[in-house]
Amino acid sequence: MLHWTNTTTHLDWSELEALYRVAPLGNKNAADLQTVFANSRFKWFVREEGRLVAAGRALADGADCAYICDVAVVPTHQGTGLGKEMVSRLAADSKGHKKIILYSVPGKEGFYRKLGFLRLLTAMAIFQDRDAAIQRGHLGEEP
């Protein structure tokens, strides 16, 4: 049985770090995760038999813009609808904002399209490691 919570009370940040590594969403250290989740208006964590199996968050300003990010699901639970439920809850939390933005891992765009998201045609970004972001398919160089 899955247990959903939206509080970080008693959260083991090292366990969250491990979740992001196996999801795989990269190497995000526990201290940085604690900072970004503390600064996110909406967040959800899912446990099964005490084990953290999913997490996600949304930055939001309360009226104009919400940004869903860092949705992570352990591989054993991917394809079960858990990721869909996570995004749906974060989108519902963000309801009332004029726009809800979601940044996808390359290749997962179809999954988010099924949830009502459309491609942004004018989005731009600056990444700390520009070359790695281009290599992973997050950024495209101008023609």
pTM over 0.85: yes
For range 2-16, the mean pLDDT: 96
Distance of CA 116 to the CA centre of its chain: 16
Domains assigned to the chain: 2-103 (3.40.630.30)
**DSSP letters for 70-87:** EEEE-GGGTTTTHHHHHH
**End-to-end alpha-carbon separation of the chain, Å?**
50
Strands 99-102 and 42-48: what pairing?
Answer: unpaired
Helix (H) or strand (E) holding 66: strand 65-73
For range 15-28, the mean pLDDT: 94
* 52 has pLDDT over 90: yes
Of the candidate ranges 55-69, 79-93, 107-121, the one whose mean pLDDT is the lowest: 107-121
Q: How confident is the model over 53-73, as pLDDT tens digits?
A: 999 999 999 999 999 999 999
* 141 has pLDDT over 80: no
User: Would you place residue 107 in the very low, low, confident or very high pLDDT band (cuts 50, 70, 90)?
Assistant: confident
* 143 has pLDDT over 70: no
* 10 has pLDDT over 70: yes
Q: How confident is the model over 29-48, as pLDDT tens digits?
A: 999 999 999 999 999 999 99
